[in-house]
Homo-oligomer: A and B are copies of this chain.
């Protein structure tokens, strides 16, 4: 019952096969491998963006930090939520890569609204040289709390950013899960709304470690390449990044994987629905479930072998009735039997 993270599961055989396919003979390094040509073309097609600059890096933190560094000056401030991965889980990587930009937190905790975003923007950039300049707006889709912005919600945020002439970064670590949840196209979720740079994540959806960074306007492409190299994120044997992404894109594997993960969360949610002790916290349409339950129930689940993140207090000590929050993340590979076993541990009405 492994729900700790979608980066804990294995890689599908198709990706290993593409790796093996790529592993033949000598090829040029640093992104000049033929499979990168395939990846670039497929992503441009997929995003209906024939001019887009497309790059691969191996971690989400690198993808976000490098993208933001390209959009942002060191004397700027970036707008994001308090639970954004770039704020909470990257150990100051955005500050590092931007050369010391600030992150201004939009009231949350999770989804921004046009109003909270506008208020955050208004709070900055009005002190002349004394405060930082307004910089990029960074939106995570699927959010870190497992919510999915509707296209209308995203559009409204992008409109606010545009009204201040601010660039938009989309942290798409779970890009595929959002696409599946919204049943839209990648273009509809990105540049058609005004997104400048999107991270098209692969790692959380079944790859070993690959994220695509897509600049819809290639004007900053060369700068990104220099920054990627400077960050130590340009692979000499780049074909092994390309191969993972190629395998991911062929035959819509990326969509299949995300459909599978989302479906597993839906399956799990349905099973949890009947438990009066459980309160679901987020709108579950992707692959994450946040729920509150009494400490005693968490103790039962964990004792039975369920692995997931817990917050709000200690598992072991405290009132048995106190509500703690759990996070369940379904990856493509988790067996249905595991989901059912988890559900079977919940008391029913």
Contacts and interface: CB of A to CB of B under 8 A. Distances in A.
Interface of A: 2, 4-5, 7-11, 16, 19-20, 23-30, 57-63, 65-66, 73-77, 88-93, 95-103, 105, 127-133, 203-204, 208-209, 223, 225-237, 240, 307, 331, 333-334
A13 to B, nearest CB: 9
6 contacts: A8-B26, A8-B27, A11-B240, A75-B226, A96-B230, A204-B236
Contacts of A24: 10
A237 B223 contact: no
Contact of A92 (B23, B57, B97, B230): B230
Copies in the complex: 4
Given A96-B74, A100-B99, A127-B88, A26 B11 contact: no
B23 A230 contact: no
Contacts of A9: 25-26
A200 to B, nearest CB: 16
B101 A95 contact: yes
A288 B103 CA distance: 30
Given A58-B209, A96-B99, 4 more contacts: A95-B101, A99-B100, A100-B100, A208-B240
Contacts of A226: 73, 75, 91, 129, 133
Contact of A11 (B23, B61, B99, B230): B23
B93 A102 contact: no
